[in-house]
Structure 1
């Protein structure tokens, strides 16, 4: 064995990893047919999907929210923040998107039955011009959510069956909770149009409007709470901007007419609700006046009859001059006392309402003639705050900040109003006491009149009092009715619902773009995932970066079935790879004298170390070097099978007996190349190779041959290979593309760092790299020049079509 120099022309250089965009691009461009086909499929799929998707239209409407003018006296409470702006935009948005408003609108539209017709790939919903009309008795339990199938037999009868049986049971006694129906008590059959179809869980009637023989219609029953919840989620209400009090309502639906009808009805219900709340004060006033009139009417009738009877019986129709003066004085006092009494009754009623928190029944004091600006403002604002609380409570919980704020304002205003009412009631009671005293003073003057005239005056006095109050109440009642009739909502519909001409979905351009991107990205993701999950060595540059020893040669994939490719195809590109390996040996051992010994090993069996060893020996024999191949894999010899020899004698025979090694050497059939086979498998191969006789045999072989090629066992499987490295000038570790495991790199790295093996190098075998053009890649001489054309330097190997190359690559 020759001494090895300590230096080597091949050094492993630690480099900072950088991203090679060109390499990365070429790496994925090799799969361009797959990516192209996938992108085309993605675009085609998106086109078909878009064509048959249901078009969705956007329905839009506009509502103008008007701010109320502040009531008289409201500015007195601005500092206490008792009165917020009457129309808060956020509150109005919440009301328009509320469940209760949606429920009321749906109840007015009669859209609880959805009608469908068969289309090319799906069922298409129809609205408006429906062939049949279904009347549902929603006071009866109903099967909702599933689908019924109606097959028209003639203009009088039809066949009814179940199309989809995923029904739930709607119970009108508990409308917000539905149970799933596992057993359907319905029997398919023939029914008459106009006949009531009734069962335990259904009750409806189907009428014929414009259906024809053979037509098929599908219907789905949907309860109002479910529909209301669905539309509540679909509708979008947004302000135009922060300064404007305009709200834009929008809804996306495949049925333009249905969307328009719903939005218009929703706005109408919204305004009706506002008007109803606004009319509540007038209705409370009329109710209060009617309660007062019920007692006054009876008294007025009684005293009117009594007055007529007294005049008739006593033949006295007019008072004397003195009596008339006294009566006028008394009438004025009684009128004033009657108004005071009415005010006291109003204050007492108001006091009761406030104490019992009957805030919905409040009556404004101005409607009964009480001209107190502060009191009037307090009552009106409290009524409006109560209405606001009712509206908010229908959409938000009591813990919502807006509801809590309104409740706080109601309590503050109620307390202020109650204190004001108590004070006003006390003042009016004092006024009543004063009026009573003045009336008693006048009554003393009445006693001076004759008895007949005195009695007439008393009866006429009672009649006049009741008449004045009656007339006064009738006047106020008429004023309240006029006010109620003249009320209009503060808010108005600016733009009624209208649908756009162009569907907002599906978006054809976007879908095609998404289809293209998905078609483009999915194969790349699959390729990246496949590469990430691959445990086999594939990329030469990746292998070179992970190795701690130099990668000195790459042997291309041979397309020939004969493994003796160097000897049988001397002008092939694979042969040129082995010539390069031979040339590298001169650089690895620049001052080497005498015999050259090379060892070949790998991590596992099947990586091509025998193929590499024999063809390396062959390139030396071609230049007249006397070369021998030693089969040292005593456990699993392969050389004899690969080259058609009989493995009857060999190295195991020499080491286990007194046989001279020269007698077991076999010719390869080619000049300058001999083979010493492994021989029959011994029971102790490791011990045989480590005995002194093997060292003596190796010494003799190296003296007689110019080049000694050692075909060693896989170092990752057996232990004796490490002992064989000491006999070689250069140790070559063979990797095979798409066959060697990546953890084999750690095996050779450990040999270098922990095992202290000198002159250890890597060879990459069976390398097949396709560039962006589908030709052999640019690594080493064995892969052609440029685009892979030989220009006469090498024999032309059979080229596979690009699709076959990719298929073979995919199999690897």
Structure 2
């Protein structure tokens, strides 16, 4: 008892009861475990294991052999490791997976019904559905295709009484719901015939060499594009060791043909995009030069027309020989001037590129040709470096994050510095051109002896030659850009393509599920046992009393299965009757121990109504009477009389009539069908029951009973509800406090414990009632209880035939 109570007397958690209660749930555990194992087994046999295939690529820094220091169109910062990181980001990007899914139309599934689920037959389908991408196609709903013969098929669906379906336009990727008139539909079509349903548009064609089997059924199902992309990207992995240029890409799926196509298409799209991006520098350069050529060509044509017109009008076809020396000098000045003009042109091209372009990951050759300023070259390199950094981040970071703003600000600052340097360089060149023009002017003034028409001709020719030189320069640069574009190769090399070489499915140990099933079966039962034990305040076993009180336990009475409370009289050989005989023996031992002679008295009480106090009183009185002793059962529960009904007697007169002086003892005593047993009922309910149980009349009542009977059994009110029973303690030799299994609460014993501790009650014992050993765990009290089959033949058993249903119920009976 000490280890069950804390210092304040409050009951602590009963760990032993918790363990016993948990163990008592073993039948439910077996049932739950059986159900769990069955569910796991069904899941395991339905589990479709996936495959995992891979492909290997390498990233090279392939330089175009036709590149020179003057023709390179790419500023490459970061080397091979930078390219590897860029490729990694591209392979993992959602945009890349969207291109692959779109390229293979993987949002359309071809399925065949298997034993437990629909199997993906991608690559083995004998037909193909060519849908209209610009139309809205139903998603998430299987459409059944059943072949009729070589030329026709039956199309059907069942949308389970749905009034609308989700659809998607795979050209715009827009999703919307469409109402449907028929939730189920069946129609026949011919191969290549256009199917025009509100939510399904396209035609079904036979694949080359495919065999059509009549009666064979398949399914097609459109899936949400975004969900499909997310599914593939989630099962797609890219592995790279250290800074190695070798990359391994893997995909896990239930269909090997789909894995092979997805991986190889992924590499193909990566190669195509990388080469396209590589060629984009040359493409942009060609486009820029073409614009300049169109402008310069127009100016050249105008100058040629002016030259021809002047010669025709003035009939000038040759230059006088005496102007040869001056012309040589002027040509030398013009050459210098041309070089300076080309430098200005170069700066103008660079300025125009800075102002009109958005991507500075590289500078086309015309934009940097002729630029010799070291500050400008250095600033261009920094812009390229920042642009490459920005391009790398764009593959994995949202566009609106602050880092792009910082990079853009740095690029804009460098552009402004370059533009200022360009303006300064052009100003210096302008001063040099002015100086050369002055020299040309002075030289031309020496032509005063040359006819004016000849001088004008030479001026027109000089302008024509200058335009022609500029045009030739652009033509040369355009040829270089075309040559570079034609000779570019991708930096991505497919080392080992994905291939089906008979790989097996991924091995997964499903037996671990049975372990989880065991825990799933046992944990809830343990939790329930803990909660029930923690919050349980009732007495469930006789030995619970040993932890709650120091009052001894006199006996244990089993569950009454008789038609009334006369269990001892009706079934004298039953286990319940034998239990009451054991109580009788214990009482006699108690009387002998205290050297009591003459009439013996015993009082039966309890905590509350319903604990079997009257049942115990009747049967204790019966066992005394059946032993040949004159016994009287007195009903002193004046507020709620009960005992008369079981003996088929009335309650018109009783103890109340005697106590108020209306009747004599002989007049209130009633005979019963039990030999040697008389009963005094409580009689009519009085207004002052407590006052009737004290005083001289009660003394006279007990004295007169002792004069006429060997045993007096007093059936008293519940002690926990009224104080009447305490008034009768002084009249009895022994008191029995009835406790009922699964009914009496533990805290109800607090009052009787207090009375016992203070010595206000004497010779009191507990009588454990309604004991059902089948519902408990291994506690036996009373003759024949707790011995199971060993008690057979000694007690009178029920004649009711046990059915299979009753046996099953008894197994799971709590």
Is the structural similarity TM-score above 0.5? yes
- Equivalent residue, structure 1, for 2:256: 256
Residue 777 (structure 1) aligned with residue 768 (structure 2): no
1:142-161 paired onto structure 2 within 5 Å: 142-161=137-156
With over 3 angstroms needed to count, the CA separation of the structure-2 counterparts of 1:218 and 1:305, relative to structure 1, is same
Report what 2:66 is aligned to: none
Q: Distance in 2 between matches of 1:480 and 1:414?
A: 27
Q: Aligned match of 1:117 in 112, 118, 121?
A: 112
Aligned residue for 1:777, secondary structure, equals coil
Match of 1:288? 288
Distance 2:706 2:282 in 1: 124
Answer yes or no: is the 8 Å Cα contact 1:556–1:782 preserved in 2: no
Aligned to 1:28: 22
In the TM superposition, residue 408 of structure 1 has moved relative to its aligned partner by 0.5
Correspondence 1:396-795 to 2 at 5 A: 396-400=397-401, 404-442=402-440, 444-445=442-443, 448=447, 458=459, 461-485=462-486, 501=503, 503=505, 507-524=509-526, 537-542=539-544, 544-545=546-547, 547=548, 550=551, 552-557=553-558, 561=562, 563-565=566-568, 575=578, 579=582, 582-583=585-586, 591=594, 593-594=596-597, 595-617=599-621, 627-633=631-637, 638-642=642-646, 650-652=654-656, 654-655=658-659, 658-662=662-666, 665=669, 674-678=677-681, 682=685, 686=689, 689-690=692-693, 692=695, 693-702=697-706, 704-705=708-709, 707-715=711-719, 720-721=724-725, 723-725=727-729, 727-738=731-742, 740=743, 742=745, 745-750=746-751, 752-753=753-754, 758-759=761-762, 761-770=765-774, 777-780=778-781, 782=783
Q: Distance in 1 between matches of 2:129 and 2:93?
A: 28
Give the direction of change, closer, same or farther, for the CA distance of 1:701–1:42 in structure 2 (3 Å limit): same
Aligned to 1:6: none
Q: 1:733/1:684 Cα in 2 relative to 1: closer, same or farther (>3 Å)?
A: same
Contact 1:64 1:493 in 2 (8 A): yes
Q: Give the aligned partner of residue 53 of structure 1.
A: 47
Q: Is the 8 A contact 2:632 2:680 kept in 1?
A: no
> Per the alignment, do residues 84 and 548 of structure 1 end up closer, same or farther by CA in structure 2, a change over 3 Å counting?
farther
Structure 1, residues 192-230: CA drift from partner, whole Å, max 9, x if none? 221222244442222233443222222222353453355
Query: Do the aligned residues in 2 keep the contact of 1:668 with 1:675 (CA within 8 Å)?
Result: yes
Mapped partners of 1:399, 1:171: distance in 2: 28
Q: Is the 8 A contact 1:142 1:170 kept in 2?
A: yes
Contact 1:340 1:432 in 2 (8 A): no
Q: Deviations over 1:84-124 (max 9, x none)?
A: 99959998776544443332222211223222222223322
Structure 1 segment 56-67 matched on structure 2, within 5 A: 56-58=50-52
* Pairs within 5 Å for 1:70-469: 87=82, 96-164=91-159, 165=162, 167-170=165-168, 175-179=173-177, 181=179, 188-209=186-207, 210=210, 211-222=212-223, 224-232=225-233, 234-235=234-235, 237=237, 251-270=251-270, 272-300=272-300, 316=318, 322=325, 325-326=328-329, 329-330=332-333, 332-350=335-353, 352-353=355-356, 363=364, 367-372=368-373, 374-379=375-380, 381-383=382-384, 385-386=386-387, 389=390, 392=393, 396-400=397-401, 404-442=402-440, 444-445=442-443, 448=447, 458=459, 461-469=462-470
Q: Per-residue CA shift, 1:48-83, capped at 9, x if unaligned?
A: 1111133334455677788999xxxxxxxxxxxx99
How far residue 26 of structure 1 moved from its aligned partner, in angstroms, is: 4.1
1:77 corresponds to which residue? Answer: none
Contact 1:360 1:383 survives alignment (8 Å): yes
* Residue 807 (structure 1) aligned with residue 809 (structure 2): yes
Question: Cα 1:391–1:741, aligned 2, differ >3 Å: closer, same or farther?
Answer: farther
Equivalent in the alignment of 1:79 = none
* Unpaired stretches in structure 1, ≥5 consecutive residues: 1-9, 70-81
SS at 2:553's partner residue? strand
Residues 178 and 571 of structure 1: is their aligned pair in 2 closer, same or farther, counting only changes over 3 Å?
closer
8 Å CA contact 1:573, 1:794 repeated in 2:
no
Q: Answer whether contact 1:777 1:788 (CA < 8 A) is retained.
A: no
C-alpha distance 478-549 of structure 1, shift in aligned 2 (>3 A): farther
Distance in 2 of aligned mates of 1:150 and 1:557? 71
Instruction: Give SS of 1:709's match.
Output: strand
Aligned partners of 2:417 and 2:482: how far apart in 1? 30
Tell me the SS of whatever aligns to 1:508: coil
Q: Give 5+ residue unaligned stretches, structure 2.
A: 64-76
Q: Does the Cα contact within 8 Å between 2:91 and 2:238 map onto a contact in 1?
A: no
1:120 aligned counterpart, secondary structure: coil
| TM-score of the two chains, using structure 1 as the length reference | 0.78
Number of matched residues?
776
Q: CA deviation at 1:415?
A: 0.8
- CA change 1:48–1:324 in 2 (3 A) is same
Give the Cα–Cα distance (whole angstroms) in 1 for the partners of residues 107 and 736 of structure 2.
82
RMSD of the TM alignment (CA)? 5.0
Match of 2:36 in 1: 42
Of the structure 1 ranges 758-767 and 90-99, higher mean CA displacement relative to structure 2 is found in 90-99
The secondary structure found in structure 1 opposite 2:123 is coil
Deviation at 1:697, TM superposition (A): 0.9
- Per-residue deviation at 1:795? 5.9
Give 1:46 shift. Answer: 0.6
Shift, 1:583, TM fit: 3.4
Distance 1:185 1:810 in 2: 47
**Partner Cα distance (2:434, 2:592) in 1:** 139
Worse-matched range after superposition: 59-68 or 465-474: 59-68
Q: Is the 8 A contact 1:40 1:516 kept in 2?
A: no
Alignment CA distance shift 1:85-1:783 (3 Å): farther
Q: Secondary structure at the match of 1:145?
A: coil
